[in-house]
Amino acid sequence: MRRTFLTRLRINGSYYVLGGLLLLLGAPLYQWLWLLPQGYGEALTAASRGQFADYVLWLHLHVWSFALYRLLQMVAFALTLSLPFTLFRIIVAQEVLGRDEEEAGATTGEEASPAAEEGAADGPGAAVAASDKPLPQTAEELLAVPWRGKGFAVIAAWAGMLGILLLVLGNLASTVYQVGVARTFTAEMVLTPSFALVAGICTLVSTTAGGLLLALATLLFGFIIVRSGLQLWPPLWVALGYVAMLLALFLTGSAVQVALSPASGQAFLTTPAFLLFACWTLWLGLILVRLRPSPAS
């Protein structure tokens, strides 16, 4: 049962590594090597100036290239959809282990077992494997215990999942709509004002609403980890918590900037925020992939 939990963490970690690499390298390289030489940068500049006809005309000429670029982004975010609840389970498991060690130390006055110490050094997943008590394996089991279903962790988990879901669905709706309009658009046609309105709403849903929810999740996750600090978490996880709080600032700034100008599709902080999210996701994924069960498990 404990090995199954650890194996699930490693499998999820591989998804986050792949998603982080797609966001950090796959989509940017595709944009830089393929889209920009075809005039994508000029099309975005035209859209930011309100010249949406020029932007849609470019889409008409490169519709499938644009669709593939958006697909890479959506797949990358979709691969991280389970990340908030995975991190939630890790936090709960680590706190359970910490409480068990405190109770054991208070009642016996003995030091923690070597297996538990080695698990804590390797990371929360390994520490979970070293615990004597079987831990919950699903979100439903975690939420069935009252104190585990309350507080910052569960808010962060739901906010993070909804935020990523809005990022995927908002991008999907935007892509389908823009591709549908661009396929039949020609230079002789007049673009209706509704294009900017619909595109702006899709951007507000994905980058603003989704970004704010994701910012809330990363802020709370970071706060929970940093609050316990080295007393409960290895140094690598504490550093991950601080980066999560920094990421929340970037995501919030991007969401606010986009809200002030939704028709442009993105803002100055949008690219740095998503690149930092990709690095943070990749970092977490690598930690989970490298987890190993302790010899005592």
> Domain containing 233: what range?
2-289
- Mean pLDDT across the stretch 273-287? 97
Residue 64 forms part of a structural domain = yes
Residue 79 forms part of a structural domain = yes
Residue 294 forms part of a structural domain = no
Which DSSP category does 138 fall into? S
Residue 296 forms part of a structural domain = no
Amino acid at 150: K
- Mean pLDDT across the stretch 241-256? 97
Kindly tell me the burial class for residue 249, based on how many C-beta atoms sit within 10 Å of its own C-beta (0-12, 13-18, 19 or more): middle
pLDDT, tens digit (0-9, with 9 covering 90-100), for 148-202? 445 789 999 999 999 999 999 999 999 999 999 999 998 889 898 899 999 999 9
Amino acid at 124: P
Judge contact between 293 and 126, C-beta under 8 A.
yes
Amino acid at 63: V
Residue 295 forms part of a structural domain = no
The closest of 83, 99, 162, 97 to 132, measured between CA atoms, is 97
Q: What is the mean pLDDT of the chain?
A: 84
Q: What share of the chain is helix, strand, coil (3-state, %, to 5)?
A: 80, 0, 20
Number of structural domains the chain divides into: 1
